[in-house]
Structure 1
Amino acid sequence: MKPTLLLTAALATFAIQAQAQTPTATTAPRVAADQIATKKGPLTVQPITHGSVVFTWNGKTIYVDPYGGSEAYAGLAAPDMVLITDIHGDHLDPKTLSGLSLGKALLVVPQAVADKLPAEYKAQARILRNGQRLDTLGLQVAAIPMYNLPEAADAMHTKGRGNGYVLSLGGKNVYLSGDTEDIAEMRALKGIDVAFVCMNLPYTMDVNQAAQGVLAFKPGIVYPYHYRGQNGLSDVAAFQKAVNTANKKIDVRLRNWYPAAQ
Protein backbone atom coordinates (compact mmCIF):
# COMPACT_ATOMS: atom_id res chain seq x y z
CA MET A 1 0.00 0.00 0.00
CA LYS A 2 1.30 3.50 -0.82
CA PRO A 3 2.38 5.74 2.11
CA THR A 4 -0.45 8.19 1.39
CA LEU A 5 -3.03 5.44 1.59
CA LEU A 6 -1.45 4.09 4.78
CA LEU A 7 -1.63 7.54 6.37
CA THR A 8 -5.25 7.98 5.31
CA ALA A 9 -6.21 4.60 6.72
CA ALA A 10 -4.43 5.31 9.99
CA LEU A 11 -6.14 8.67 10.38
CA ALA A 12 -9.54 7.12 9.67
CA THR A 13 -8.93 4.42 12.28
CA PHE A 14 -7.85 7.03 14.83
CA ALA A 15 -10.95 9.12 14.14
CA ILE A 16 -13.26 6.13 14.64
CA GLN A 17 -11.55 5.18 17.90
CA ALA A 18 -11.69 8.75 19.20
CA GLN A 19 -15.37 9.02 18.34
CA ALA A 20 -16.12 5.77 20.15
CA GLN A 21 -14.28 6.95 23.28
CA THR A 22 -15.94 10.38 23.44
CA PRO A 23 -18.92 10.32 25.84
CA THR A 24 -22.15 11.74 24.54
CA ALA A 25 -23.40 14.87 26.30
CA THR A 26 -26.76 13.32 27.11
CA THR A 27 -28.38 9.94 26.65
CA ALA A 28 -31.30 11.58 24.83
CA PRO A 29 -32.25 15.03 23.56
CA ARG A 30 -33.04 17.34 26.46
CA VAL A 31 -36.65 18.50 26.80
CA ALA A 32 -37.10 22.19 26.02
CA ALA A 33 -37.04 24.48 29.04
CA ASP A 34 -39.99 26.61 30.15
CA GLN A 35 -39.83 30.17 31.42
CA ILE A 36 -42.09 31.53 34.14
CA ALA A 37 -42.17 35.26 34.85
CA THR A 38 -41.23 36.52 38.32
CA LYS A 39 -40.66 40.01 39.76
CA LYS A 40 -36.91 39.47 39.39
CA GLY A 41 -36.78 38.07 35.89
CA PRO A 42 -37.71 34.71 34.42
CA LEU A 43 -37.54 31.42 36.26
CA THR A 44 -36.23 28.85 33.79
CA VAL A 45 -37.53 25.33 34.37
CA GLN A 46 -35.40 22.62 32.77
CA PRO A 47 -36.78 19.08 33.15
CA ILE A 48 -33.99 16.52 33.41
CA THR A 49 -35.38 13.09 34.31
CA HIS A 50 -37.71 11.43 36.84
CA GLY A 51 -37.62 13.68 39.95
CA SER A 52 -34.78 15.91 38.76
CA VAL A 53 -35.22 19.45 37.50
CA VAL A 54 -32.87 22.43 37.13
CA PHE A 55 -33.98 25.98 37.89
CA THR A 56 -32.21 29.12 36.75
CA TRP A 57 -33.27 32.42 38.29
CA ASN A 58 -31.70 35.79 39.01
CA GLY A 59 -28.25 34.55 38.00
CA LYS A 60 -28.46 31.46 40.23
CA THR A 61 -28.79 27.79 39.29
CA ILE A 62 -30.54 25.20 41.46
CA TYR A 63 -30.39 21.44 40.88
CA VAL A 64 -33.11 19.26 42.40
CA ASP A 65 -32.34 15.60 43.11
CA PRO A 66 -29.59 15.21 40.49
CA TYR A 67 -29.84 11.64 39.27
CA GLY A 68 -29.25 9.41 36.27
CA GLY A 69 -25.71 10.38 35.31
CA SER A 70 -23.93 13.70 35.06
CA GLU A 71 -24.16 13.58 31.24
CA ALA A 72 -27.78 14.72 31.52
CA TYR A 73 -26.54 18.04 32.98
CA ALA A 74 -23.94 18.74 30.30
CA GLY A 75 -23.99 22.34 29.12
CA LEU A 76 -25.93 23.62 32.15
CA ALA A 77 -24.39 26.07 34.58
CA ALA A 78 -22.82 24.61 37.70
CA PRO A 79 -25.26 24.71 40.62
CA ASP A 80 -25.25 27.34 43.33
CA MET A 81 -27.63 25.14 45.31
CA VAL A 82 -28.56 21.47 45.26
CA LEU A 83 -31.80 20.31 46.89
CA ILE A 84 -32.00 16.63 47.84
CA THR A 85 -35.29 15.26 49.11
CA ASP A 86 -34.58 11.72 50.33
CA ILE A 87 -32.07 8.90 50.77
CA HIS A 88 -33.23 6.66 47.91
CA GLY A 89 -30.96 6.32 44.90
CA ASP A 90 -33.22 8.26 42.55
CA HIS A 91 -32.78 11.31 44.83
CA LEU A 92 -29.41 10.88 46.52
CA ASP A 93 -27.20 9.61 43.69
CA PRO A 94 -23.51 9.82 44.67
CA LYS A 95 -22.35 8.71 41.23
CA THR A 96 -24.14 11.59 39.54
CA LEU A 97 -22.96 14.05 42.21
CA SER A 98 -19.35 12.97 41.62
CA GLY A 99 -19.60 13.96 37.96
CA LEU A 100 -20.97 17.45 38.63
CA SER A 101 -19.10 20.66 39.42
CA LEU A 102 -20.23 21.22 43.01
CA GLY A 103 -17.39 23.39 44.28
CA LYS A 104 -19.59 26.44 44.92
CA ALA A 105 -22.82 24.60 45.70
CA LEU A 106 -24.76 24.66 48.95
CA LEU A 107 -26.43 21.27 49.49
CA VAL A 108 -29.79 21.60 51.25
CA VAL A 109 -30.76 18.22 52.68
CA PRO A 110 -32.68 16.46 55.45
CA GLN A 111 -30.67 14.86 58.27
CA ALA A 112 -31.05 11.35 56.83
CA VAL A 113 -29.44 12.48 53.57
CA ALA A 114 -26.67 14.35 55.38
CA ASP A 115 -25.84 11.12 57.21
CA LYS A 116 -25.35 9.30 53.88
CA LEU A 117 -23.58 12.03 51.89
CA PRO A 118 -20.09 11.16 50.70
CA ALA A 119 -17.53 12.74 53.02
CA GLU A 120 -16.35 15.31 50.47
CA TYR A 121 -19.77 17.02 50.47
CA LYS A 122 -20.57 17.09 54.18
CA ALA A 123 -19.02 20.51 54.78
CA GLN A 124 -21.28 21.98 52.06
CA ALA A 125 -24.48 20.54 53.52
CA ARG A 126 -27.13 22.60 55.29
CA ILE A 127 -29.63 20.43 57.14
CA LEU A 128 -33.30 21.42 57.10
CA ARG A 129 -35.92 19.51 59.03
CA ASN A 130 -39.62 19.56 58.22
CA GLY A 131 -40.95 23.02 59.04
CA GLN A 132 -37.58 24.79 58.91
CA ARG A 133 -36.65 27.59 56.50
CA LEU A 134 -33.45 28.95 55.02
CA ASP A 135 -32.89 32.37 53.43
CA THR A 136 -30.01 32.34 50.95
CA LEU A 137 -29.13 33.43 47.41
CA GLY A 138 -31.96 35.95 47.48
CA LEU A 139 -34.64 33.29 47.95
CA GLN A 140 -36.21 31.24 50.71
CA VAL A 141 -36.26 27.46 50.99
CA ALA A 142 -38.86 25.84 53.26
CA ALA A 143 -38.78 22.12 54.11
CA ILE A 144 -42.20 20.46 53.82
CA PRO A 145 -43.18 16.98 55.08
CA MET A 146 -43.33 14.10 52.58
CA TYR A 147 -44.41 10.60 53.58
CA ASN A 148 -46.59 7.58 52.83
CA LEU A 149 -50.10 6.92 54.09
CA PRO A 150 -51.07 5.27 56.31
CA GLU A 151 -48.12 6.23 58.48
CA ALA A 152 -46.10 3.19 59.52
CA ALA A 153 -42.61 2.52 60.78
CA ASP A 154 -41.90 0.23 57.80
CA ALA A 155 -43.27 2.60 55.14
CA MET A 156 -40.99 3.35 52.19
CA HIS A 157 -41.17 7.04 53.14
CA THR A 158 -41.64 7.76 56.82
CA LYS A 159 -42.74 11.13 58.16
CA GLY A 160 -39.82 13.39 59.03
CA ARG A 161 -37.12 11.53 57.11
CA GLY A 162 -37.36 13.35 53.79
CA ASN A 163 -38.22 16.84 52.65
CA GLY A 164 -40.49 18.30 50.07
CA TYR A 165 -39.53 21.92 49.43
CA VAL A 166 -41.17 25.26 48.74
CA LEU A 167 -38.93 27.82 47.05
CA SER A 168 -40.04 31.44 47.36
CA LEU A 169 -38.35 33.60 44.75
CA GLY A 170 -39.28 36.77 42.90
CA GLY A 171 -42.79 36.75 44.33
CA LYS A 172 -43.46 33.14 43.22
CA ASN A 173 -43.79 30.00 45.35
CA VAL A 174 -42.57 26.74 43.81
CA TYR A 175 -43.48 23.42 45.47
CA LEU A 176 -41.49 20.21 44.99
CA SER A 177 -43.39 17.27 46.42
CA GLY A 178 -40.57 14.77 46.79
CA ASP A 179 -41.88 11.24 47.44
CA THR A 180 -45.23 11.68 49.13
CA GLU A 181 -48.88 10.82 49.11
CA ASP A 182 -51.66 13.41 49.25
CA ILE A 183 -50.91 14.21 52.86
CA ALA A 184 -52.68 16.88 54.90
CA GLU A 185 -49.61 19.14 54.77
CA MET A 186 -49.68 19.13 50.96
CA ARG A 187 -53.42 19.71 50.78
CA ALA A 188 -53.08 22.66 53.17
CA LEU A 189 -50.51 24.52 51.06
CA LYS A 190 -51.47 28.09 50.16
CA GLY A 191 -50.29 30.46 47.45
CA ILE A 192 -48.39 27.90 45.36
CA ASP A 193 -47.71 29.26 41.88
CA VAL A 194 -45.85 26.25 40.46
CA ALA A 195 -45.99 22.66 41.71
CA PHE A 196 -44.07 19.51 40.83
CA VAL A 197 -46.13 16.51 41.94
CA CYS A 198 -45.12 12.84 41.96
CA MET A 199 -47.30 9.86 41.01
CA ASN A 200 -45.62 6.47 40.85
CA LEU A 201 -47.03 3.35 42.46
CA PRO A 202 -46.21 1.62 44.73
CA TYR A 203 -43.88 4.28 46.10
CA THR A 204 -46.04 7.41 46.23
CA MET A 205 -49.47 8.32 44.80
CA ASP A 206 -51.67 6.99 42.06
CA VAL A 207 -53.06 9.38 39.44
CA ASN A 208 -56.32 9.99 41.31
CA GLN A 209 -54.58 10.75 44.62
CA ALA A 210 -52.26 13.19 42.89
CA ALA A 211 -55.17 14.90 41.13
CA GLN A 212 -57.22 15.20 44.33
CA GLY A 213 -54.23 16.59 46.21
CA VAL A 214 -53.62 19.21 43.52
CA LEU A 215 -57.28 20.16 43.44
CA ALA A 216 -57.09 20.77 47.19
CA PHE A 217 -54.21 23.28 47.14
CA LYS A 218 -54.86 24.74 43.66
CA PRO A 219 -51.45 25.69 42.24
CA GLY A 220 -51.40 28.02 39.26
CA ILE A 221 -49.21 25.61 37.26
CA VAL A 222 -48.56 21.94 37.94
CA TYR A 223 -46.01 19.62 36.39
CA PRO A 224 -46.56 15.90 36.97
CA TYR A 225 -43.06 14.48 37.44
CA HIS A 226 -41.52 11.41 39.09
CA TYR A 227 -44.16 9.26 37.37
CA ARG A 228 -42.24 6.06 36.64
CA GLY A 229 -43.32 3.17 38.88
CA GLN A 230 -42.85 -0.58 38.98
CA ASN A 231 -45.25 -1.12 36.09
CA GLY A 232 -44.06 1.67 33.80
CA LEU A 233 -45.10 5.28 33.41
CA SER A 234 -48.21 6.69 35.07
CA ASP A 235 -50.98 8.06 32.87
CA VAL A 236 -50.25 11.76 33.13
CA ALA A 237 -52.89 12.55 30.47
CA ALA A 238 -55.50 11.04 32.80
CA PHE A 239 -54.11 13.23 35.60
CA GLN A 240 -54.48 16.30 33.41
CA LYS A 241 -58.05 15.37 32.52
CA ALA A 242 -59.01 14.74 36.15
CA VAL A 243 -57.58 18.07 37.27
CA ASN A 244 -58.98 20.18 34.46
CA THR A 245 -62.41 18.58 34.51
CA ALA A 246 -62.74 19.87 38.07
CA ASN A 247 -60.71 23.08 37.74
CA LYS A 248 -59.90 24.54 34.33
CA LYS A 249 -57.81 27.34 35.87
CA ILE A 250 -54.94 25.02 36.84
CA ASP A 251 -52.36 24.91 34.04
CA VAL A 252 -51.30 21.25 33.84
CA ARG A 253 -48.04 21.07 31.92
CA LEU A 254 -47.12 17.67 30.55
CA ARG A 255 -43.43 17.29 29.75
CA ASN A 256 -41.42 14.22 28.84
CA TRP A 257 -39.35 13.42 31.94
CA TYR A 258 -38.11 10.14 30.39
CA PRO A 259 -36.69 11.06 26.95
CA ALA A 260 -34.26 8.12 26.98
CA ALA A 261 -37.26 5.75 27.06
CA GLN A 262 -38.68 7.06 23.78
Structure 2
Amino acid sequence: MKLTFALTAVLAAFAVQTQAQTATPATAPRVPADQITTKKGPLTVQPITHGSVVLTWNGQTIYVDPYGGAEAYAGLAAPDVILITDIHGDHLDTKTLAGLAVGKALMIVPQAVAEKLPAEYKTQARILRNGQQLDTLGMSVSAIPMYNLPEAADAMHPKGRGNGYRLNLGGKNVYISGDTEDTAEMRALKNIDVAFVCMNLPYTMDVQQAAQGVLAFKPGIVYPYHYRGQSGLSDVAAFQKTVRAANKKIDVRLRNWYPAAK
Protein backbone atom coordinates (compact mmCIF):
# COMPACT_ATOMS: atom_id res chain seq x y z
CA MET A 1 0.00 0.00 0.00
CA LYS A 2 2.78 2.42 0.99
CA LEU A 3 4.69 1.51 -2.16
CA THR A 4 1.62 2.12 -4.33
CA PHE A 5 0.99 5.49 -2.67
CA ALA A 6 4.62 6.55 -3.13
CA LEU A 7 4.62 5.49 -6.77
CA THR A 8 1.41 7.41 -7.39
CA ALA A 9 2.87 10.53 -5.81
CA VAL A 10 6.00 10.30 -7.94
CA LEU A 11 3.98 9.86 -11.11
CA ALA A 12 1.77 12.82 -10.20
CA ALA A 13 4.78 15.02 -9.54
CA PHE A 14 6.32 13.93 -12.85
CA ALA A 15 3.09 14.77 -14.68
CA VAL A 16 2.97 18.25 -13.15
CA GLN A 17 6.61 18.87 -14.05
CA THR A 18 6.07 17.65 -17.61
CA GLN A 19 2.98 19.86 -17.98
CA ALA A 20 4.92 22.88 -16.74
CA GLN A 21 7.68 22.24 -19.28
CA THR A 22 5.34 21.80 -22.24
CA ALA A 23 2.63 24.34 -21.43
CA THR A 24 2.29 27.26 -23.79
CA PRO A 25 3.64 30.42 -22.10
CA ALA A 26 0.98 32.94 -21.09
CA THR A 27 0.54 35.83 -23.46
CA ALA A 28 2.25 38.97 -22.18
CA PRO A 29 -0.09 41.69 -20.93
CA ARG A 30 -1.27 43.93 -23.76
CA VAL A 31 -0.06 47.52 -23.84
CA PRO A 32 -2.93 49.93 -23.03
CA ALA A 33 -4.62 51.46 -26.06
CA ASP A 34 -4.55 55.17 -26.94
CA GLN A 35 -7.52 57.18 -28.17
CA ILE A 36 -7.26 60.01 -30.69
CA THR A 37 -10.18 62.30 -31.47
CA THR A 38 -11.59 62.42 -35.02
CA LYS A 39 -14.67 64.02 -36.57
CA LYS A 40 -16.41 60.64 -36.45
CA GLY A 41 -15.59 59.52 -32.94
CA PRO A 42 -12.39 58.23 -31.36
CA LEU A 43 -9.63 56.42 -33.18
CA THR A 44 -8.30 53.69 -30.90
CA VAL A 45 -4.67 52.67 -31.34
CA GLN A 46 -3.84 49.26 -29.90
CA PRO A 47 -0.18 48.23 -30.17
CA ILE A 48 0.25 44.48 -30.63
CA THR A 49 3.89 43.64 -31.41
CA HIS A 50 6.68 44.67 -33.78
CA GLY A 51 4.93 46.05 -36.93
CA SER A 52 1.44 44.99 -35.85
CA VAL A 53 -1.23 47.38 -34.63
CA VAL A 54 -5.02 47.32 -34.42
CA LEU A 55 -6.95 50.50 -35.21
CA THR A 56 -10.61 50.86 -34.29
CA TRP A 57 -12.68 53.70 -35.71
CA ASN A 58 -16.33 54.39 -36.53
CA GLY A 59 -17.34 50.80 -35.83
CA GLN A 60 -14.56 49.41 -38.07
CA THR A 61 -11.60 47.34 -36.89
CA ILE A 62 -8.39 47.48 -38.93
CA TYR A 63 -5.57 44.98 -38.42
CA VAL A 64 -2.17 46.09 -39.70
CA ASP A 65 0.27 43.26 -40.50
CA PRO A 66 -1.23 40.73 -38.07
CA TYR A 67 1.73 38.77 -36.69
CA GLY A 68 2.90 37.01 -33.57
CA GLY A 69 0.19 34.40 -33.07
CA ALA A 70 -3.58 34.66 -32.85
CA GLU A 71 -3.42 34.75 -29.04
CA ALA A 72 -1.97 38.27 -29.28
CA TYR A 73 -5.39 39.39 -30.60
CA ALA A 74 -7.52 37.66 -27.96
CA GLY A 75 -10.44 39.83 -26.86
CA LEU A 76 -10.23 42.19 -29.84
CA ALA A 77 -12.99 42.48 -32.42
CA ALA A 78 -12.58 40.52 -35.64
CA PRO A 79 -11.11 42.64 -38.43
CA ASP A 80 -13.20 44.41 -41.05
CA VAL A 81 -10.04 45.42 -42.93
CA ILE A 82 -6.57 43.88 -42.94
CA LEU A 83 -3.64 45.88 -44.30
CA ILE A 84 -0.54 43.89 -45.25
CA THR A 85 2.56 45.79 -46.24
CA ASP A 86 5.02 43.18 -47.53
CA ILE A 87 5.77 39.50 -48.17
CA HIS A 88 8.13 38.92 -45.23
CA GLY A 89 6.90 36.71 -42.39
CA ASP A 90 6.61 39.53 -39.87
CA HIS A 91 4.05 41.17 -42.18
CA LEU A 92 2.43 38.33 -44.09
CA ASP A 93 2.08 35.78 -41.28
CA THR A 94 -0.18 33.03 -42.59
CA LYS A 95 -0.11 31.09 -39.30
CA THR A 96 -1.50 34.07 -37.43
CA LEU A 97 -4.11 34.71 -40.12
CA ALA A 98 -5.21 31.07 -39.91
CA GLY A 99 -5.95 31.46 -36.19
CA LEU A 100 -8.00 34.64 -36.55
CA ALA A 101 -11.63 35.21 -37.58
CA VAL A 102 -10.74 36.87 -40.88
CA GLY A 103 -13.44 35.36 -43.09
CA LYS A 104 -15.34 38.64 -43.56
CA ALA A 105 -12.33 40.94 -43.73
CA LEU A 106 -11.26 42.93 -46.77
CA MET A 107 -7.53 42.38 -47.26
CA ILE A 108 -5.73 45.34 -48.82
CA VAL A 109 -2.38 44.17 -50.14
CA PRO A 110 0.33 44.82 -52.75
CA GLN A 111 0.54 42.51 -55.75
CA ALA A 112 3.48 40.54 -54.31
CA VAL A 113 1.48 39.72 -51.19
CA ALA A 114 -1.61 38.75 -53.20
CA GLU A 115 0.49 36.21 -55.07
CA LYS A 116 1.57 34.55 -51.80
CA LEU A 117 -1.78 34.56 -50.00
CA PRO A 118 -3.25 31.12 -49.32
CA ALA A 119 -6.04 30.21 -51.75
CA GLU A 120 -8.81 30.68 -49.20
CA TYR A 121 -8.04 34.41 -48.94
CA LYS A 122 -7.69 35.21 -52.64
CA THR A 123 -11.29 36.42 -53.09
CA GLN A 124 -10.96 38.76 -50.09
CA ALA A 125 -7.87 40.53 -51.44
CA ARG A 126 -7.91 43.96 -53.05
CA ILE A 127 -4.61 44.85 -54.69
CA LEU A 128 -3.25 48.37 -54.32
CA ARG A 129 -0.10 49.36 -56.15
CA ASN A 130 2.12 52.25 -55.10
CA GLY A 131 0.22 55.49 -55.68
CA GLN A 132 -3.24 53.91 -55.87
CA GLN A 133 -6.14 54.73 -53.55
CA LEU A 134 -9.21 52.84 -52.33
CA ASP A 135 -12.27 54.35 -50.64
CA THR A 136 -14.14 51.79 -48.54
CA LEU A 137 -16.18 51.57 -45.33
CA GLY A 138 -16.05 55.33 -44.88
CA MET A 139 -12.27 55.49 -45.01
CA SER A 140 -9.66 56.24 -47.64
CA VAL A 141 -6.57 54.04 -48.08
CA SER A 142 -3.61 55.14 -50.22
CA ALA A 143 -0.56 53.00 -51.01
CA ILE A 144 2.75 54.77 -50.32
CA PRO A 145 6.04 53.39 -51.69
CA MET A 146 8.27 51.70 -49.08
CA TYR A 147 11.80 50.65 -50.00
CA ASN A 148 15.48 50.64 -49.12
CA LEU A 149 18.05 53.24 -50.10
CA PRO A 150 19.99 53.32 -52.30
CA GLU A 151 17.54 51.64 -54.66
CA ALA A 152 18.74 48.26 -55.88
CA ALA A 153 17.10 45.23 -57.44
CA ASP A 154 18.57 42.97 -54.75
CA ALA A 155 17.53 45.16 -51.80
CA MET A 156 15.61 43.52 -48.98
CA HIS A 157 12.75 45.89 -49.85
CA PRO A 158 12.88 46.96 -53.50
CA LYS A 159 10.71 49.85 -54.63
CA GLY A 160 7.30 48.80 -55.88
CA ARG A 161 7.01 45.47 -54.06
CA GLY A 162 5.54 46.62 -50.75
CA ASN A 163 3.17 49.30 -49.55
CA GLY A 164 3.20 51.78 -46.75
CA TYR A 165 -0.31 53.12 -46.21
CA ARG A 166 -1.93 56.47 -45.64
CA LEU A 167 -5.40 56.26 -44.14
CA ASN A 168 -7.95 59.04 -43.81
CA LEU A 169 -10.21 58.25 -40.86
CA GLY A 170 -12.73 60.92 -39.92
CA GLY A 171 -10.49 63.72 -41.14
CA LYS A 172 -7.34 62.33 -39.49
CA ASN A 173 -4.49 61.19 -41.72
CA VAL A 174 -2.64 58.11 -40.46
CA TYR A 175 0.65 56.98 -42.01
CA ILE A 176 1.92 53.41 -41.63
CA SER A 177 5.50 53.20 -42.86
CA GLY A 178 5.96 49.48 -43.34
CA ASP A 179 9.61 48.53 -44.00
CA THR A 180 11.18 51.63 -45.49
CA GLU A 181 13.91 54.18 -45.25
CA ASP A 182 13.39 57.94 -45.24
CA THR A 183 12.47 58.04 -48.90
CA ALA A 184 11.48 61.09 -50.91
CA GLU A 185 7.88 59.87 -50.73
CA MET A 186 8.00 59.75 -46.92
CA ARG A 187 9.61 63.17 -46.65
CA ALA A 188 6.98 64.65 -49.00
CA LEU A 189 4.02 63.55 -46.91
CA LYS A 190 1.70 66.38 -45.85
CA ASN A 191 -0.82 66.84 -43.06
CA ILE A 192 -0.11 63.56 -41.29
CA ASP A 193 -1.78 63.48 -37.88
CA VAL A 194 -0.53 60.07 -36.70
CA ALA A 195 2.51 58.16 -37.99
CA PHE A 196 3.93 54.72 -37.27
CA VAL A 197 7.60 54.75 -38.24
CA CYS A 198 10.01 51.81 -38.36
CA MET A 199 13.66 51.84 -37.28
CA ASN A 200 15.50 48.53 -37.25
CA LEU A 201 18.84 47.79 -38.86
CA PRO A 202 19.78 46.25 -41.22
CA TYR A 203 16.27 45.97 -42.63
CA THR A 204 15.04 49.57 -42.63
CA MET A 205 16.73 52.65 -41.14
CA ASP A 206 18.56 53.65 -38.01
CA VAL A 207 17.26 55.94 -35.30
CA GLN A 208 18.84 59.12 -36.68
CA GLN A 209 17.61 58.46 -40.21
CA ALA A 210 14.09 57.83 -38.91
CA ALA A 211 14.23 61.03 -36.87
CA GLN A 212 15.31 63.11 -39.85
CA GLY A 213 12.53 61.62 -41.97
CA VAL A 214 9.95 62.45 -39.33
CA LEU A 215 11.29 65.97 -38.93
CA ALA A 216 10.83 66.42 -42.68
CA PHE A 217 7.13 65.52 -42.83
CA LYS A 218 6.19 66.72 -39.31
CA PRO A 219 3.39 64.42 -38.12
CA GLY A 220 1.34 65.57 -35.16
CA ILE A 221 1.90 62.27 -33.32
CA VAL A 222 4.53 59.64 -34.09
CA TYR A 223 4.84 56.13 -32.71
CA PRO A 224 8.21 54.43 -33.16
CA TYR A 225 7.30 50.81 -34.02
CA HIS A 226 8.97 47.88 -35.76
CA TYR A 227 12.18 48.65 -33.86
CA ARG A 228 13.63 45.17 -33.29
CA GLY A 229 16.65 44.47 -35.49
CA GLN A 230 19.54 42.02 -35.62
CA SER A 231 21.23 43.69 -32.66
CA GLY A 232 18.13 43.87 -30.49
CA LEU A 233 15.81 46.79 -29.86
CA SER A 234 16.63 50.22 -31.28
CA ASP A 235 17.07 53.16 -28.92
CA VAL A 236 13.63 54.75 -29.29
CA ALA A 237 14.36 57.10 -26.38
CA ALA A 238 17.18 58.59 -28.45
CA PHE A 239 14.74 58.95 -31.35
CA GLN A 240 12.31 60.79 -29.06
CA LYS A 241 15.07 63.07 -27.75
CA THR A 242 16.29 63.96 -31.25
CA VAL A 243 12.83 64.77 -32.57
CA ARG A 244 11.82 66.77 -29.51
CA ALA A 245 15.03 68.80 -29.59
CA ALA A 246 14.32 69.88 -33.17
CA ASN A 247 10.52 70.19 -33.10
CA LYS A 248 8.64 70.23 -29.82
CA LYS A 249 5.29 70.23 -31.62
CA ILE A 250 5.72 66.59 -32.65
CA ASP A 251 4.29 64.29 -29.97
CA VAL A 252 6.61 61.26 -29.85
CA ARG A 253 4.76 58.45 -28.09
CA LEU A 254 6.88 55.58 -26.83
CA ARG A 255 4.94 52.35 -26.30
CA ASN A 256 6.26 48.90 -25.52
CA TRP A 257 5.82 46.90 -28.72
CA TYR A 258 7.80 44.01 -27.23
CA PRO A 259 6.21 43.34 -23.83
CA ALA A 260 7.58 39.77 -23.71
CA ALA A 261 11.17 40.85 -24.38
CA LYS A 262 13.64 40.27 -21.58
Q: Same fold (TM over 0.5)?
A: yes
Give 1:26 shift: 5.6
Distance 2:175 2:41 in 1: 19
2:4 corresponding residue in structure 1: none
2:234 corresponding residue in structure 1: 234
Distance 1:221 1:182 in 2: 17
SS in 2 for 1:214: helix
2:173 corresponding residue in structure 1: 173
Q: Classify 1:250/1:231 alpha carbon distance in 2 versus 1 (closer, same or farther; 3 Å).
A: same
Give 1:23 shift: 7.8
2:115 corresponding residue in structure 1: 115
1:6 corresponding residue in structure 2: none
Distance 1:120 1:73 in 2: 21
1:131 corresponding residue in structure 2: 131
2:257 corresponding residue in structure 1: 257
Distance 1:105 1:24 in 2: 28
Give 1:227 shift: 0.2
1:1-262 aligned within 5 A? 27-262=27-262
CA-based RMSD of the aligned residues comes to: 2.1
Q: TM-score, normalised by structure 1?
A: 0.92
The question of whether the paired residues in 2 share the 8 Å contact of 1:82 and 1:105 is answered with: yes
Q: Classify 1:189/1:25 alpha carbon distance in 2 versus 1 (closer, same or farther; 3 Å).
A: farther
Q: Classify 1:62/1:23 alpha carbon distance in 2 versus 1 (closer, same or farther; 3 Å).
A: farther
Deviations 1:74-133 (A, max 9, x none): 000000000000000000000000000011100000000000001110110000000000
Deviations 1:167-222 (A, max 9, x none): 10101000000000000000000000000000000000000000000000000000
* Poorly superposed stretches of 4+, deviation over 3 Å: 22-26
SS in 2 for 1:248: coil
Give 1:25 shift: 9.5
1:5 corresponding residue in structure 2: none
Return 5+ residue gaps in structure 2 as ranges. 2-8
Distance 2:47 2:89 in 1: 18
Q: Classify 1:49/1:204 alpha carbon distance in 2 versus 1 (closer, same or farther; 3 Å).
A: same
Distance 2:26 2:130 in 1: 34
Give 1:70 shift: 0.5
Distance 1:78 1:184 in 2: 35
SS in 2 for 1:216: helix
Give 1:24 shift: 6.7
The question of whether the paired residues in 2 share the 8 Å contact of 1:25 and 1:72 is answered with: no
Distance 1:194 1:108 in 2: 20
Distance 1:213 1:233 in 2: 19
Give 1:27 shift: 2.0
Report the count of equivalent residues.
252
The question of whether the paired residues in 2 share the 8 Å contact of 1:35 and 1:43 is answered with: yes
Deviations 1:11-66 (A, max 9, x none): x99xx79x97x987962000000000000000000000000000010011000000
Q: Classify 1:23/1:36 alpha carbon distance in 2 versus 1 (closer, same or farther; 3 Å).
A: farther
The one-letter amino acid paired with 2:32 is A
Distance 1:104 1:62 in 2: 12
